[in-house]
A and B are shown apart, each in its own frame.
Chain A
């Protein structure tokens, strides 16, 4: 568990492809509300720390400017109700766009890896977006992953969610996708928002074992998280062989975070990122804005850039302040063993999961949007296809302070077979002609063609992105 020792001097010039890209976008003029944790001040001290550190002057670091994500980039992932513009403000589009800038630079080999240090966050935003959940409207990582799959032809991607909260939005988006490995470790959902992320959440019937949840007992320390990394996350990544590794990098596992109860340190975050070696990290949560964020963010940058972080510590950090206890370690050992077993049986489980003769699989869900106080009912219908992961239909009805709305969504994944593609497009055409009762919009997310349609029944108008 000792950090590697480095010989590289601070000022040795780095070859361009050996640089770490950084988008720093603190959105100093944006807040959910003046006293909300997601407010202007959140990255202020992080700015002070990285500016004073002078880290952006180092040849190992290359700073990039974010851009606005296109509406189409967002529609590739989300069914935004009623439309993309309504859910994605400029702030959201810049945060997602920051991730896209880093992705472009990594995939065109301009840099070896990159960190989108942006806000607002996104990992609680699900496929259907009626409003803000857990401070998130749109899912920055998913938007980036679908963008690089579309633009650079990538297929196998791993998203490791290291935020203390379960990445339920990302899990939802990749639930039925066997080519995106989603691993989330987080404080146990019985003790923390959003109350999900249990071990039995393992993915849809045709994508079993590529969703892996690791609920951690409150108080877990650096040592515990390294144990999970070394014995579960890294071996799985080794076997899965993703073309891109994304760290959905929340910083609220920190011992000082006001919203959670874990005992992770800034140096722990640096070691985590060194072990994980993500191609791209995207900032998620983290609300200990003075005590943790300045040091954690610096640690992630230093680790990704291969800079020596042995002198990085929080002012109140004392060695051995947090020790892993036997009881927690035993729990972790059990979880790791069980989830590794799950991953290894994924093909077998998926084969078992194809119910014989049933053409469709359905599940009912209830989703709560804490920030916007919206309650959503979903009926998911997945085509069980012998040749591909199937296309997905979602009937969604939401009720909140703004009223009630019902929509119908159809998603064709990139890997869909031609039969599923045809069937899904026919279904959308049929839905356009004959609206379901009280339905305001129908959506078609056609990833193979990269076109995104939305039909407004009231105005009888179609919009295409």
Chain B
């Protein structure tokens, strides 16, 4: 298998708070291959957004990346200067935010917010003057057209509040895709939308992915979305990856009790549109966690052996699980 596009090893991101150090991401490995769609699922607060904010270099104080390597196309992103990182963001990796309603700047026109991405990254444009402005305007209109916003030319002059929620989601996707990134991180692209628009937006992402040959990380609460759109899935729990593998296999034969719980709470085969129903109990406090399995207190199968630290184990080709009851230890 060729080297992955994105390869994250041992990522650890913490937030210093008054109550103590919150370990939001603790030893996460992620790899995303070229052209694939990787789904990330997990309860609220499991570290999905923080993991990819770390990849983007957007963890803000009081947060900081404490350990780990982040390779994009073999290039170590953590070793880049802020300026070099800015050249990667928006060009090689793009992101859409969890909440489309707050991600667009209310004081700037939509046109300007698309145009500035081209202005920052597109070196094929004329250097300056009206030719450059026109080229940028054409490309911006083309992007709006691509995400299915009609009469793009005139809508470029409008402000975000003049668009509906679904439209704003599309605009955000248009901005993210403007420079044809190699990797799109779509953080819950559908949560704020109603069901039909959800489907349209996901279709759009899948279609553009095929057209541009990019990789997509799809963060979601919706296992139905994962089943339909993702090649592989990664389940996160309390800052750790607890299970990972090809979507069909994970759904057919979940290995981790947590994943089984997630799936059991959904009536199959109608997976679609079902949010994750909470499993009994609470996600542990991420401050000063004991070394034991993080799911221990909620796990129906827990035993004394689970009180020792649990490493990732191999559960067949391309499958990993963090539970001593399945798989085999990797050397």
Instruction: Please say whether chains A and B are actual partners in one complex.
Output: no
Please list the residues of chain A having a beta carbon within 8 angstroms of any beta carbon in chain B. Answer: none
Q: Interface on B for A, CB 8 Å cutoff?
A: none
